[in-house]
Amino acid sequence: MLKNLLYAMFLLSLCVSCSTGDDDDVFATEDMIDWYVVQDKPGKVNRLLYDIYKNEGMTIFINDTLYREEAEDQFGNPIVNLELFDVGYYVFSTDSKVSVRMAADSVAMIKALNTIREKVLPYLPKSGAYRPRSILLVDSVLKVFEPRRGKFEWSEVSIYQGSLKGVAIGQVGSVLEMDDLALSMWAGRILGAKSVDWIQENCDEYVDFENKTNEGRTSGSNYGIYINFTSTSVPPIYGFFNWYCRLDVAKKYRTPALEDDLIDYIAAVYAYRGKEGVFKEKYKDYYKMLDKFELAKKMVEKFEITQGIR
């Protein structure tokens, strides 16, 4: 007991001694740049980004370079200070198995931004862990699935929600070709990017959702398996909206992971809200799709109630 008391006093003395340094050693937070503040800049896209930030409080990036400054080091050599939107950024590590291709079509960006404003922002929590910190618009999100024989196998996915800096949403270059339902699914995946965490932690239906996907299997899982494309091997038979195409092998596909599958269904709940009959007619021959959709509706409703959205 005495030993513990002496140790505690020693730690306290260290804290006191460390806090008595010069004021010059303390960095004022007001001198730090807030990367999430959107500046009012010329150009249609920039003005729309600023308007969304000012009125809806959401930071949206169209470039992964958040800040660039040319400076000199202590020896007078030129250096460039960069702050990047690292998609795979975590607190103590970086996920090197995810990459993005930046969008370049300003017309597509404007349509994507207006879609987010109309179909995403009104249905997000006002604050908290389940509201994306920011959104990065990109053309493609590429992800590695379980390297085999030491070779990375890349596939394109719709969205990557793992970064602490925000959510990266792909397919921006394709929004001009999307009809309203496809746009609603695209927007719905942003809504699912963070709500999926709450649902996995708080909804019993989540287990039923997974079990429904694996129904009919005697062992293993339908999640994360490789599929050789055939006319009879279509995603809805397994209860999926789509496959992930491997970029290195033509007509080689992989089924989505459980979390990605759930995000797709969350997106569908929002996309087909008020027109559920359209969904039921479209997938009437695929009972897994219908059952998983009903489970997803219950989970989304619980999430919205707890977050004060409905």
- Bridge partners of 67, per DSSP, are 83
- What per-residue confidence (pLDDT) applies to 121? 97
- What per-residue confidence (pLDDT) applies to 249? 64
Closest C-alpha among 99, 103, 123 to residue 111: 103
Q: Please give the share of the chain, as a percent, with pLDDT higher than 70.
A: 79
Using the structure block, give the residue that is written with the tokens 């960095």: 27
- What per-residue confidence (pLDDT) applies to 165? 87
What's the chain's Rg over C-alpha atoms? 23
In this prediction, the residues of the chain whose per-residue pLDDT falls under 70 are 1-32, 67, 82, 88-96, 146-152, 229-233, 246-251, 310
CA distance 272 to 33: 41
Query: pTM to 2 decimals?
Result: 0.82
Q: What are phi and psi of 32, to 5 degrees?
A: -85, 145
CA distance 118 to 9: 58
- What per-residue confidence (pLDDT) applies to 158? 87
- What per-residue confidence (pLDDT) applies to 80? 75
Q: Where are the beta strands (DSSP E) in the chain?
A: 60-61, 65-72, 78-84, 98-102, 135-144, 154-157, 159-160, 167-169, 226-228, 244-245, 252-254
- What per-residue confidence (pLDDT) applies to 91? 41
Q: What are phi and psi of 227, to 5 degrees?
A: -125, 130
Task: Please classify residue 156 by burial: count the beta carbons closer than 10 Å to its beta carbon, then call 0-12 exposed, 13-18 middle and 19+ buried.
Answer: middle
Name the DSSP letter for residue 243.
Answer: P
Q: At residue 281, what is the residue type?
A: E
- What per-residue confidence (pLDDT) applies to 213? 97
